[in-house]
Structure 1
Amino acid sequence: MTTNVISLVSIGAHPTSGRPRRAEQDARAVELGLQMAGDKLQVLHAGDIAEPALRSYLGMGLPQLHVLEQPAGSDALPVLSEYLRDAGAQVVLAGSQAETGEGSGMLPFLLAEQLGWPLIVGLAQVESIDGGVAHVLQALPRGQRRRLKVRLPFLATVDNAAPKPRQSAYGPAQRGELAAHDVEVEQDALFTGAVLQPAKPRPKRLKVIKAKSGADRMKAATAKASGGGGQVLKGLSPEAGAEAILKLLVEEGVVR
Structure 2
Amino acid sequence: MQPNIKQSLDIVSLVSIGQHPQSGRVRRAEQDGRAVELGMNLGGDNLTVLHAGDPQEQALRTYAGMGLSSMQVLNLDLQDDAVPALADYLQQLRPDIVLTGVRAESGESSGMVPYLLAEKLNWPVVARIADIVSVEDGVAEVMLALPRGQRRALKVALPFVASVDNAAPEARQSAYGPGIRAQIEPLAGVKEEDTVRSNWSEAKAKPRPKRLKVVKAKTAAERFKAATAKPQGEAGKVLKGVPAKEQAQEIFNLLLEEKVI
What TM-score bracket applies, with the shorter chain setting the length? 0.7 to 0.9
Contact 1:39 1:63 in 2 (8 A): no
What one-letter code is carried by the residue in structure 2 that aligns with 1:132? G
What secondary structure is seen at the aligned counterpart in 2 of 1:29?
Answer: helix
Matched, 1:4 2:10: yes
Change (3 A) 1:206 1:67: same
3-state SS, counterpart of residue 38 of structure 1: helix
Equivalence map 1:196-207=2 (5 Å):
196-205=202-211
1:76 counterpart = 2:69: no
Note the 1:67-106 alignment, pairs <5 A: 67-106=73-112
- The partner residue of 2:31 within 19, 25, 29 is 25
Aligned partner of 1:214 in structure 2 is none
The alignment of Structure 1 onto Structure 2 pairs a total of residues equal to: 244
SS at match of 2:171: coil
Comparing 9-18 and 70-79, the one that deviates more: 9-18
Structure 2 spans left out of the alignment, 5+ residues: 1-6, 240-247
Kindly indicate whether residue 53 of structure 2 is the aligned counterpart of residue 47 of structure 1: yes
Q: Indicate how the Cα distance of structure 1 residues 248 and 207 shifts in structure 2: closer, same or farther if over 3 A, else same.
A: closer
| Residue in structure 2 matched with residue 193 of structure 1 by the alignment | 199
1:202 Cα deviation from its structure 2 partner: 1.1
Distance 1:197 1:148, change over 3 A: same
User: Any idea what SS the aligned residue of 1:138 has?
Assistant: strand
Specify every segment of 5 or more residues in structure 1 that has no aligned partner in the other structure, as ranges: 210-216, 233-241
Mapped partners of 2:255, 2:177: distance in 1: 56
Which position in structure 2 is the counterpart of 1:125?
Answer: 131
Letter of the 2:65 partner, please give it: G
Higher mean C-alpha displacement, 41-50 vs 150-159: 150-159
The separation in 2 between residues aligned to 1:244 and 1:172, in whole angstroms, is 59
CA distance in structure 1 between the aligned counterparts of 2:28 and 2:65, rounded to whole angstroms: 10
d(CA) in 2 for partners of 1:205, 1:42 = 48
**AA aligned opposite 1:13:** Q
User: Which residue does the alignment assign to 1:164?
Assistant: 170
Which SS does the other structure have where 2:59 is aligned?
A: helix
1:39–1:62 Cα contact (<8 Å) kept:
no
Instruction: Give the AA of the match of 2:95.
Output: A
Coordinate RMSD, CA, aligned: 3.0
The alignment-based identity, stated in percent, is 52
Q: Is 1:183 the counterpart of 2:189 in the alignment?
A: yes
CA distance in 2, matches of 1:63, 1:21: 19
**8 Å contact 1:13–1:99 — kept in the other structure?**
yes
Deviation at 1:184, TM superposition (A): 2.8
Cα distance change of structure 1 residues 27 and 207 upon mapping to structure 2, 3 Å threshold: farther
Whether 2:118 is the aligned partner of 1:112: answer yes
Amino acid at match of 1:127: V
Supply the distance in 1 between the matched residues of 2:60 and 2:178 (Cα, whole angstroms). Answer: 12
Deviation at 1:55, TM superposition (A): 1.2
Q: Secondary structure at the match of 1:86?
A: helix
Q: Give the 3-state SS of the residue equivalent to 2:178 in structure 1.
A: helix
SS at match of 1:8: strand
1:249 Cα deviation from its structure 2 partner: 5.2
Moved more, 110-119 or 27-36: 110-119
- Cα distance in structure 1, aligned partners of 2:63 and 2:134: 25
State the Cα distance separating 1:188 from its structure 2 match: 0.6
Q: Residues 133-190 of structure 1: CA distance to partner in whole angstroms, max 9, x if unpaired?
A: 1111110111111111111111111121010000111221122111111123111100
Aligned position for 2:242 = none
